[in-house]
Amino acid sequence: MEPTAALQRPRSATCPADSATGGPASAASPDTKGADALSQVPLRVTNPKRIPARRYYDAEFYRLESERLWPKVWQMACRLEEIPEIGDWIEYQILDKSVLVIRTKTGIKAFHNACRHRGVKLGEGVGHCTAQGLVCPFHGWRWNMDGENIFVFGRAEFDEAELDPTDLALPPCRVETWGGCAFINLDNDAPPLLECLGEGVARMDARHVDRLKVDWWSSTILPVNWKLAMEAFMEGYHVMATHPHLHAVTTPEARRYGADSPLVSALPPTESARKYVDMTLVHLATLSEGMGGMIDGWELEVAETLRDMDLPEDVGAGAMAFYTRLRAEITRQGRAQNRPVPDLIKAAAEHPFSAVEYFFPNYFLLPMFSSMASYRARPLGPESCLFEIWALAIYPEDEQRPAPTAPAPLAHDDPSYPKIPKQDYSNLPRQQLGLHAGGFEFMRLSPNIEGMISNYQRLIDGFLAELPAPVLARGAARASSGFDAPIADLGF
């Protein structure tokens, strides 16, 4: 995270006042039907600053999410570079639903993954649709990449009424693309993708998110609820205790959570712009090594060349001068290497970023300069989830790169993970167990820096209440935001 960005980012939203019943006040109250539906949601968030602990392990709540949330939301199904050639396909699995995402001659398409004969999955993992098409391994029926049936073995054995071409075609699944990814929605009547992703789209587009390529990709099965896994990355408040090595090399001026921790109060403000830059370079190197993905190696090399640049004596002016020059040099040198780097100075001025950008329900991008990290969480059970991390970088446009393939999940305590996610992974199982402790009924949130957790949790309630799709789309756009966000009015 850029040290000065956290201090300068404005807080445009305010915490809504609690109603007499402890619920969030709204500028536009839901209609009676909507209010009644919300009141029926079990374990509902009635106070935006308190999240019931049972939401993270209750079997009935998990069942409702499976039935009413996941079938209705846009989900990042794959990176487009995973299917670079016409005919390439990949399977996306969410709970008990499987979808094939295919690159066709006319663009990206998606189909529900089941043979129209007796339901066998047509594909698993990744593959390529040859001239033979997608072949069912059970009885050999085939479909082309456009979902049309092209062969039925022993056709004469069936009534023609059962072989109507329209009925045999693979049912399409809603698919749209953004940010170098294909997103699917199991609801064909869902509002368009971009209506649901919020203002982060413009911030990421300004940073050429669609040009990023996979540097590496890791995954793990965490013994925690999928929501808990995400919330570890929705605020920077945890850095002091969870990542003390990173916190220790953050300049005192950039520490934004008060001076009441020993690590903060023991350090005086930086005495000069030179010392500020020196510590910032250590911070960037520590973040790159420990996170892997947010800062690429060549960007660090550029930063190091600016260590001795002329600086104003004032710390604030020196910090601004350093970051302006660094953005300019990454842009210039990246373009000289044929990397499609955006104008980072213009992007920072016109679209200020957050170090973590969240897109409801389960996708994250973590920008810094031209590179990013990315996260995705998927539920496997009430207290289990698949959590993935990508390191994304802008490579030279003429560089040929192999299509990335999904890694086998490692144990959550595998020592090979970068230091920062390893520290997060160590906390999460302890938290999941702690939620079961006697007397622990709810999490309590800061309305100013942990609001993102409240926002998306209350939006989940809207889905479980089956509120109208346009209302939920507007809520999703508001819940999708940068980390350390305040509690927001979702419109219901």
Q: What is the mean pLDDT of residues 114-137?
A: 95
Residue 399: CA count within 13 A, CB half-sphere = 15
What token pair was written down for 333? 């040198």
For 283-300, what is each residue's pLDDT tens digit?
A: 898 888 887 778 999 999
Give dist(CA 175, CA 110) in Å, integer: 6
Q: CB of 371 within 8 A of CB of 296?
A: yes
177: alpha, beta or left, given left = phi > 0 and alpha = psi -120 to 50?
Answer: beta
pLDDT on residue 450: 94
Residue that is last in its domain, among 128, 151, 178 = 178
Give how far Cα 405 sits from Cα of 36, 296, 373, Å: 46, 21, 17
* One domain, residues 219 and 365: yes
What CATH number corresponds to the domain at position 142?
Answer: 2.102.10.10
- Does 328 fall in a domain? no
Residue that is last in its domain, among 113, 145, 178 = 178
Q: What is the percent of the chain with per-residue pLDDT over 70, rounded to a whole number?
A: 90
pLDDT of 11 > 60? The answer is no
- Does 303 fall in a domain? no
pLDDT band at 13, cuts 50/70/90?
very low
Question: Residue type for 149, please?
Answer: N
Give dist(CA 426, CA 284) in Å, integer: 23
Q: What is the mean pLDDT of residues 305-321?
A: 91
Q: What is the mean pLDDT of residues 370-381?
A: 96
Q: In which domain, by residue range, is 423 found?
A: 1-67+195-296+335-492
Q: What is the mean pLDDT of residues 432-457?
A: 96
Give dist(CA 411, CA 446) in Å, integer: 32
Query: 3-class SS at 170?
Result: coil
- Does 102 fall in a domain? yes
Residue that is last in its domain, among 178, 208, 225 = 178
pLDDT on residue 315: 86
Which stretch, 6-15, 29-38, 120-129, has highest mean pLDDT? 120-129
pLDDT, the chain, mean: 89
* One domain, residues 219 and 130: no
pLDDT of 14 > 50? The answer is no
178, containing H or E segment: strand 174-178
- Does 399 fall in a domain? yes
* One domain, residues 111 and 147: yes
What token pair was written down for 138? 């059970």
pLDDT band at 27, cuts 50/70/90?
very low
- Does 411 fall in a domain? yes
What CATH number corresponds to the domain at position 264?
Answer: 3.90.380
Angle, CA of 353, 296 and 477, to the nearest 5°: 25
* One domain, residues 212 and 268: yes
- Does 91 fall in a domain? yes
* One domain, residues 482 and 363: yes
* One domain, residues 461 and 492: yes
pLDDT on residue 8: 32
* One domain, residues 146 and 114: yes
pLDDT band at 259, cuts 50/70/90?
low
What token pair was written down for 397? 């446009």
Q: What is the mean pLDDT of residues 188-213?
A: 96
pLDDT on residue 23: 41
pLDDT on residue 381: 97
Give dist(CA 43, CA 251) in Å, integer: 41
Q: What is the mean pLDDT of residues 350-355?
A: 90
* One domain, residues 374 and 460: yes
* DSSP alpha helix (H) spans, 368-450: 419-434
pLDDT of 6 > 50? The answer is no
When divided into structural domains, the chain yields a total of 2
pLDDT on residue 166: 95
For 67-103, what is each residue's pLDDT tens digit?
A: 999 999 999 999 999 999 999 999 999 999 999 999 9
Scanning the structure block, which residue is given the tokens 């973040």?
Answer: 287
pLDDT of 169 > 80? The answer is yes
* One domain, residues 107 and 240: no
Which pTM was predicted? 0.89
* One domain, residues 240 and 99: no
Give dist(CA 170, CA 98) in Å, integer: 13
- Does 347 fall in a domain? yes
Q: Which of the residue ranges 171-180, 232-241, 345-354, 392-401 would you say has the lowest mean pLDDT? A: 232-241
pLDDT of 262 > 60? The answer is no
pLDDT on residue 246: 80
* One domain, residues 168 and 130: yes
Closest to 203 (Cα-Cα) out of 359, 387, 27:
359
Q: CB of 367 within 8 A of CB of 207?
A: yes
Q: What is the mean pLDDT of residues 341-357?
A: 93
* One domain, residues 200 and 278: yes
Give dist(CA 117, CA 386) in Å, integer: 31
- Does 307 fall in a domain? no
pLDDT band at 239, cuts 50/70/90?
confident
Angle, helix 451-464 to helix 469-479, in steps of 10 degrees: 170
For 29-67, what is each residue's pLDDT tens digit?
A: 556 778 899 999 999 999 999 999 999 999 999 999 999
For 407-433, what is each residue's pLDDT tens digit?
A: 999 999 998 888 888 898 999 999 999
* Cα 303 → chain centroid: 27
